[in-house]
A and B are shown apart, each in its own frame.
Chain A
Amino acid sequence: MVYKIKTMFKNNVIENDLPDINEISFKKIHKNYFKVILLNIGITFSIFIIGLFFFIYFKPNKIIPSYTYVLYIGLGAFLLFLLLYFYIGFSRRKYALRAHDISYKSGVLIKSLTTVPFNRIQHIEIEEGLFSRLFRLASLNIFTAGAAGKDLTVKGISRIEALKIKAFITDKIND
């Protein structure tokens, strides 16, 4: 199957050595971003636990008392699993900038890789979340004319790096 494609390409006068996305080295996102993830999980969980606590406390007839321990243990296990998932996934989050496109890859159970060519970029946004700002980190959001929202997002790079990349791409587009 594969060699057939190569011969098809030969016939069509295309160079056999196309630039290969899999041969370039990707850069990891900033390690401090993991702290941002932890903070986000922490806040979400706290709100959830407080809500649950109030629910159990004020409506005792809804849940049989002995089950509440099971609930808390279950939640604890879920939290641990979530942390493990993010920890493994964190080192997989990488991005790469080439002369004509920008790429991002990530994923634990489902690995994904996305590339956006510069000449299809409509606009670029730099977003700084509340916690990201504490560590001087930012997200780079890239929009094309593609049908769904943001086409590529790189979260957790330093603010300076984000600005540099934005300037680099803008420069390339205006050429």
Chain B
Amino acid sequence: MTNSFDFTEFNRQSKKGILILFFKNMYGFLKKAWVLIPMFIIKKPNPEKLEQFFLIIGVIVFSLLVKSILDFIFFKFKIDDKHFILKEGILNKKQLSIPFDRIQNVNFKQSFIQQLINVTQVEIETAGAKKTEISIKAINHNKAIAIKKQLFDSGLINSEVIDSKENAVKPILKISILELFKISITENHFKSFMLFVGFLFMIYSQVKDTFKSFTLKETVGVDLEQQAPNTLIGFSIIILIAFIIGLIISFIRVFLIHFNLTVFVKNNTLEIAQGLLTKRHHILKKEKVQHITIRTNPLKQLLGISSITFKQANSTKTKAIKLIRIVGCENKHLENVKDLLYNRYDLSDHKKIKPHRYYIFQMGIRSIIFLAIVNIFVLLPMLYDPETPANFRYFYWNFLLIPIIAFFILLKYKKSYYKFNSEILIKGFGQIGTDTTYFEHFKIQSITTKQTIFQKKRGIKDLFLVTAVGKIKLPCIKNKQANLLYNYFLYQTEISTKQWM
């Protein structure tokens, strides 16, 4: 049976799509009408009023259903002369005609409901002066693939040949459930978790002390020293619980986002499919990738895996960024991805260029200022509030924090470096984790240097590469090097005829 569909005549979505449209319309209605709901709940349930209430609900549901059917009937699309043509709208009719070369991306998505009724959502993103995003909410999966082929691989005529090619291409990466479990443990959620714990801790001790001073007035003679060990145990238990909760949450997140992660490399594109409740199928065109960041951490290194984040520019007008992440990559997968995106990316024979040592000092000064501000904010309320005795025990925390901060600053400096050749720049950074960003010179949008008066004395400056998806900072570089890089990046960008997006 040939999987060829005729798109030269107007097509409608799959009939099951009416259900999807119904839910979409209902959701939209609820979003607007939610203010009215409390009105009905507050009033006492009166049997007559109840009948009226159900009647109203019935009318609403019926009209939403009718609207969904009409939406379905009036949503038509076809492919004609290298254009994708879409007609939609009941009262307010719209007709869109999009030439193939303006189509940036064709992605598939399947929400939980869509998976249940076995339809696929096709999203078409366009570039150019008017950014549009077409979303076909419900299509039979094979039809979706056929559409994608026609739009994306425009130029390739024989659909049968493409079909067999598709079956022959093996994924370069496929993650099993067990591997997913291992990955979720290694995810670096510890950092955000630690911050969260620290924050909880601070609040807890503040609250506890405030209450302590109140109980002192009421029950004189309570031995507070006895309470101290109990509070310590209390703290430890809370931290342990928060830790376990953090672990469970990160496992759930990884599972939901990366379930069944499969990566294909085809025709200069990377196809990434993953997701449990919401299945997403991204097609990453090589040119659209602005830069990639490879992340690893001590736990990940034990398992020999890293994660790659692709930062993709979406549209020139809306400055929207797309972040696509794949996890559980072994070295060979990293090589595959780098092979696809870059020509000469092996800079292992290049020496790492470190930032000037002043960077450590700069980070130190900023941390001290930050600590001082935090201390002042803790001190001021205490001095002004006559009820809480000025508890200088808080400032002992500084003795603990300072060596910890110093350790992290040194670690950050250790991980900082950059390397470059005539094609790409590699930036190394991170603290607990080790991150590496690969970036092609000609993809800068603009370039900036900044130099404080302290940096000027030492003959260094900060370099910022402004890309379509964010700034890449190279801190504390010697002036001569910075100027050379500045001129070189501009040169590469200005002579380049390559598509940066």
Contacts and interface: CB of A to CB of B under 8 A. Distances in A.
Interface of A: 1-2, 4-5, 8-9, 12-14, 18-22, 100-101, 107, 109-120, 122, 144-148, 151-152
Nearest to B321: A147
B501 A145 contact: yes
A117 B493 contact: yes
B484 A101 contact: no
Q: Which of A12, A119, A152 gathers the greatest number of chain B CB atoms within 10 Å?
A: A119
10 contacts: A1-B481, A9-B488, A14-B488, A21-B487, A101-B494, A117-B444, A120-B500, A144-B466, A145-B313, A145-B319
Contact of A20 (B422, B453, B471, B487): B487
Contacts of A147: 319, 321, 466-471
Given A122-B316, A146-B466, A1 B445 contact: no
B452 interface: yes
A83 to B, nearest CB: 20
Given A111-B451, A146-B446, 6 more contacts: A12-B421, A110-B453, A112-B449, A144-B468, A147-B467, A148-B466
A122 B61 CA distance: 46
B351 interface: yes
Contacts of B483: 20-22
Given A122-B316, A145-B316, A146-B467, A111 B450 contact: yes
B493 A119 contact: yes
A122 B449 CA distance: 22
Query: What range describes how many residues of B lie at the interface?
Result: 35 or more
Interface in B450-480: 450-453, 456, 466-471, 478, 480
Nearest to B419: A8
Contacts of B319: 145-147
Contact of A120 (B444, B488, B491): B444
Contact of B421 (A8, A21, A112): A8
Given A4-B351, A110-B450, A113-B449, A19 B481 contact: no
Interface of B: 313, 316-317, 319, 321, 350-351, 353, 421-422, 444-453, 456, 466-471, 478, 480-481, 483-484, 486-488, 490-491, 493-494, 496, 500-501
B468 A2 contact: no
| 5 A-B pairs closest in CB distance | A146-B445, A144-B445, A12-B422, A116-B446, A100-B494
Contacts of B491: 18-19
A117 B447 CA distance: 9
Contact of B447 (A20, A114, A122): A114
A146 B468 contact: yes
Contacts of A144: 445-446, 466, 468
Contacts of A119: 493-494, 496
Q: Which of A111, A112, A145, A146 gathers the greatest number of chain B CB atoms within 10 Å?
A: A145
Contacts of A146: 319, 445-446, 466-468
A101 B490 contact: yes
Nearest to A22: B483
Nearest to B317: A122
A172 B321 CA distance: 28
A109 B450 CA distance: 10
Contacts of B452: 109-110
Given A1-B481, A145-B316, A115 B494 contact: no
B453 A109 contact: yes
Nearest to B449: A113
Contacts of A14: 422, 488
B314 to A, nearest CB: 10
Contact of B445 (A13, A113, A120): A120
Nearest to A4: B351
Contacts of A112: 448-451
A8 B351 CA distance: 11
Contact of A114 (B446, B487, B496): B446
Given A101-B494, A146-B467, A18 B446 contact: no
A54 B491 CA distance: 57
Contacts of B501: 145
A2 B446 contact: no
Nearest to B454: A109
Contacts of A22: 483
A113 B468 CA distance: 19
Nearest to B496: A119
B293 to A, nearest CB: 15
B448 A114 contact: yes
A144 B445 CA distance: 6
B448 A21 contact: no
Q: Which of A21, A114, A147 gathers the greatest number of chain B CB atoms within 10 Å?
A: A147
Contact of A113 (B313, B448, B471, B481): B448
Nearest to A118: B494
A147 B368 CA distance: 31
Q: Which of A19, A116, A148 gathers the greatest number of chain B CB atoms within 10 Å?
A: A116
Contacts of A101: 490, 494
Contact of B481 (A5, A107, A145): A5
Contacts of A115: 446-448, 486, 490
Contact of B493 (A13, A113, A114, A120): A120
A5 B479 CA distance: 13
B484 A5 contact: yes
A111 B471 contact: no
A4 B488 CA distance: 15
A91 B266 CA distance: 55
Q: Which of A13, A101, A110, A148 gathers the greatest number of chain B CB atoms within 10 Å?
A: A110
